[in-house]
Amino acid sequence: MRILYTLGALSIVAACAMPSDSYAPILDGPVTRDFQSDLTACRELAKQSPTGPGEVGGAIVAGALFAGFVVDHEEPDMLPWGVALGAVAGWIGAIADQNAERKTIVATCLQGRGHPVVG
């Protein structure tokens, strides 16, 4: 049962740590008058980043298999719950990766438009 609580807690922490679409990078310099419109355009560009269902599905399956393996050895009666929590953890991880990629796209796009983005 301990492993299920641990997986559940990790899932919650990962969900809370995900960046949102409202990401605004740190600038090393003044905000120009074009910054807000450029930021909006770069966010829209980042939303077009392809994330195939295979990537998310693969993460879900991997999480489910790993958690199922761990739980099966620790507490076999809890196997279905372990697999479910593992799938959720894999899904959250895939979404977090996608958000990190989009954050990078926004920062790179703004740099390309002449804004001094540092993070």
pTM of the model: 0.64
Q: Which residue's structure tokens are 């295979």?
A: 54
pLDDT in tens, 9-32: 665 555 555 455 778 889 999 999
DSSP secondary structure code for residue 51 in this structure: -
| pLDDT score for 37 | 95
**Is 92 in contact with 15 (CB distance < 8 Å)?**
yes
Residue 19, both tokens: 């960046």
Q: Which residues contact 37 (CB under 8 A, 6 or more apart)?
A: none
**For the chain, domain boundaries:** 28-112
Between CA 70 and CA 100 the distance in angstroms is: 28
pLDDT in tens, 51-95: 655 566 666 677 777 766 666 666 667 777 777 777 777 777 777
Run of H or E residues at 68: helix 53-74
| pLDDT score for 95 | 77
DSSP percent split of the chain into helix, strand, coil, nearest 5: 75, 0, 25
Between CA 76 and CA 67 the distance in angstroms is: 11
